[in-house]
Structures are given as structure tokens and as C-alpha cells.
Amino acid sequence: MTTVDFATFCCTKDIDRLHAPGVLEASVNSHRYQFDNVIVIHQRCSDKLFNKSSLSNVRIVTINNYQVDNILTDFNINPVNPLGDELTHGPTAPHYWKWHVINHLTALRNSTSDYIVFSDADCYIKEQGERSWIDIGIDLLKRYRDILIISPSDGGFMHEAKTPEGYRLTQNISQQMFLCERSRFINEVNFDEYWDGNMDAVGGPFQEYYNLLEGRLWRYMRPRGLWRCILPTDIVRYWHDGWH
């Protein structure tokens, strides 16, 4: 039987919002899917109290500051990155690269599922058809090995190619919400792929992008011809509330 985990994240300023009554539950339940585990990563908030979820399968994983570089090196990422520090404005900035990368890596290490849905804490599924977008996404990941991740529709139109079904394919990566095959991320993806410093990713993203998780996926995917597949709005639409 195929297993699927759900993973989300929060830092100090968002822990109260994520754990407000019903918020985590609503985010998870919006997918209309029976997840095997709900993994919640707490980053830089080990001293914060929070409301216990009514979900029975929630696992809270706390990242302490002393663990950060070890998490990175576990995935062969060099924690010494002066250019990354410069481009993402250091540890007090909202897009500091280490804070963004370690969330997903920690979830990968704490999951044993076949697939994982990663979701920012302020994202949820707004609408979807009768069949779960996750089941559709798993079918696509099995069928097309040049697709690395599946995303629900963002309401946009960007694409560089399409699947035979007409679904958009792009190397413009967003880490807000996506589905992946866990073992492939663990065993195949190089999260520290060489980058020549040229800010030439499709879509012209901001400078921090190239060292965040999404930019690191782009760096890995581009030379290998891999894609992010975006499902159309008539299958699924997600929403970003924008807590930040």
C-alpha cells in the first residue's frame, strides 16, 4: 500500500497561528486525503508553548540551532556559504537560506513514507475535483520520470513544456506546496548542485531564490531536464494566505 506523509513548518513568529484552534486541522483536511503521518517542524521555537492538535497522527519535530549545520551536512550541503549568506542577508533576515532549506530536509529524515506533501504553514487547498490531486500526482510521478515534483495549480500560466495530458511543465520552482517521491529526494537529488552565480532561472526570481530549497531544486533539475508539473485549476487549486 502506498504511504503518504504531510509535512509543514513554522518558526517562532508563526507557531501561535499554526497551532491556533483548527488551523493545522483545516490545512491538512483541505487535501481530502488520509495521510499516514502529519509532520510539523518547529524551527527556533523550542521554548514556545502551543495548543495540541486534535489530529491523532501528528508528530512534532523540533530543530535546535546546534543541529542546523549537521542537518545540512547530512544532505551533503556545505554549511559554509559566504555568497549564500550575502544574498540571503544573514540569520536575522526572513529569507536566510539555512532556515529555508533545513525544514524540508528534516521532514525527509523523519518520514518513512513513499511520498510526501510539503506545504508552507499558510497554504491550503482551496478547491479540487472528486479525485484527490495527490493520487493524480502519484500516478504522474510513476509515469514520467522526468517529473520530479507535482504542484497544485497556482492560478498562473507559466510553462516551458506540457505533458501529453496538457499539464504545465516548468523549471520555475516554488516550495510553497508540492508532492514528491521521498526515496528519490533522499537518494538522488543533489541539494548542493554547482551554481555559476548567474541569476538566470526561468521567471526571474529574486536573488535569495538561488540558495533556498526551491533554487537548489532548480539547480539540480536544469542540467538533467527535470520538471515541476503544475496540475490545472479544474483538478486542484491551492491558496497562499501570506502570513509573511
What distance in Å separates the CA atoms of residue 207 and residue 87, rounded to the nearest whole number?
6
Name beta bridge partners: 60: 40
The residue extents of the domains of the chain are: 4-240
**Residue 132: what pLDDT?**
95
For 126-140, give the DSSP string. EEE-SS-HHHHHHHH
What distance in Å separates the CA atoms of residue 211 and residue 213, rounded to the nearest whole number?
7
Give the pTM.
0.95
Kindly give the confidence (pLDDT) of every residue in the chain, 244 residues in length, as a single tens digit, with 9 standing for 90 and above: 999 999 999 877 788 888 888 999 999 999 999 999 999 998 877 655 576 788 889 999 999 888 999 999 999 999 999 999 999 999 999 899 999 999 999 999 999 999 999 999 999 999 999 999 999 999 999 999 999 999 999 989 999 999 999 999 999 999 999 999 999 999 999 999 999 999 999 988 899 999 999 999 999 999 999 999 999 999 999 999 865 5
b/e per residue 208-218 (b: at least 16 CB within 10 A): bbbbbbbbbbb
Other Cβ atoms within 10 Å of 75 Cβ, number:
19
**Residue 18: what pLDDT?**
85
CA angle 214/227/150 to nearest 5° reads 75
CATH code at 4-240: 3.90.550
**Residue 10: what pLDDT?**
84
**Residue 69: what pLDDT?**
96
Q: Are 50 and 40 in contact (CB under 8 A)?
A: no
* Grid cell at residue 25: 486541522
What distance in Å separates the CA atoms of residue 12 and residue 93, rounded to the nearest whole number?
13
CA 137 vs CA 117, 162, 206: distances in Å: 10, 15, 28
Q: Are 103 and 95 in contact (CB under 8 A)?
A: no
Neighbouring residues of 84: CB distance < 8 A, sequence distance ≥ 6:
97, 211
